[in-house]
A = this chain, B = another copy of it.
Amino acid sequence: MDYPKTIKDLIACFKKLPGVGEKTAERYALSILNSDLEFTDMFSDTLRNVKTKIKRCSICNNYSEEEICPICNDKSRDNNVICVVEEPKNVIIFEKIGTYNGLYHVLDGLISPLDGVNPEDIKIDSLIKRINDNKIDEVIIAVKPSIEGETTALYISKLLENKNIKITKIAHGVPLGADMDYIDALTLELALENRTQIS
């Protein structure tokens, strides 16, 4: 004897979520059984909506409910600067800082030949076209500091050579509040290399 089929089906669905095992999925499913019908109906509808309503912005490739996302549509933003990020969620993090006023471009991945991800598999073509078609002063590459990130940054900067565009990369180093004991050697090396003068 196990749970009735419907409960087992729901546990199976929750198990597909990242990092969710049998026990957690069971806990989630049982909490759904104890929640009110109004909530489960809304949850059910939202799950369906998210797949039908959310598209990608035709300019920057970020998640959007419209053809063009609110950022690309915002006339008050500096449309001469593009910040290149790996995933849509990175845009949210930059927006939370509140000081960046340029546009974005979501690559949807990083070049990684070992995983079979080549330049044509991510949104580099549309980035280059966008830069060619518009007056862009600066391209800020804001991808994570990994082999894939460095490869992608290098590839994009090569394509933009001789175009008289400033290409920058966000700084990598020791994060604020970090305990020096736990910083890995590679980060420390980068932090040392990119040291800034204080007096």
A53 — which chain B residues lie within 8 A by C-beta?
Answer: 4, 6
B27 touching A63 by the CB < 8 A rule?
A: no
Q: Which residue of the partner chain, among B3, B7, B41, B46, contacts A9 with CB atoms under 8 Å?
A: B46
B63 touching A51 by the CB < 8 A rule?
A: no
Known contacts: A1-B70, A2-B95, A95-B2. The answer to whether A54 contacts B7 by CB under 8 A is: yes
B51 touching A37 by the CB < 8 A rule?
A: yes
Assembled-state Cα–Cα distance A70/B100 (Å): 61
A88 to chain B: closest residue by CB: B30
CB of A193, distance to nearest CB on chain B (Å): 31
Cβ proximity bits A20-45 to B, threshold 8 Å, 1 near / 0 not? 00001011111111010101111111
A92 touching B3 by the CB < 8 A rule?
A: yes
A17 touching B31 by the CB < 8 A rule?
A: yes
Assembled-state Cα–Cα distance A71/B64 (Å): 50
**Cβ-based interface call for A48 (8 A):** yes
Q: Which residue of the partner chain, among B6, B41, B50, contacts A6 with CB atoms under 8 Å?
A: B50
In which size bucket is the chain A interface? 35 or more
**Cβ-based interface call for A65 (8 A):** yes
B6 touching A46 by the CB < 8 A rule?
A: yes
A38 to chain B: closest residue by CB: B51
A28 — which chain B residues lie within 8 A by C-beta?
Answer: 17-18
A47 to chain B: closest residue by CB: B44
CB of A74, distance to nearest CB on chain B (Å): 8
B1 touching A71 by the CB < 8 A rule?
A: yes
B51 touching A40 by the CB < 8 A rule?
A: yes
Given A10-B47, A30-B88, 14 other A-B residues pairs in contact with their CB atoms under 8 A: A9-B46, A16-B31, A17-B28, A17-B31, A19-B27, A30-B89, A32-B47, A33-B50, A33-B63, A40-B48, A43-B47, A44-B45, A44-B47, A47-B47
A-B contacts, 19 listed (Cβ < 8 Å) = A1-B70, A2-B95, A6-B54, A7-B50, A9-B50, A10-B47, A10-B50, A13-B47, A16-B35, A16-B39, A17-B28, A19-B24, A19-B27, A26-B89, A30-B88, A32-B47, A33-B50, A33-B63, A40-B47
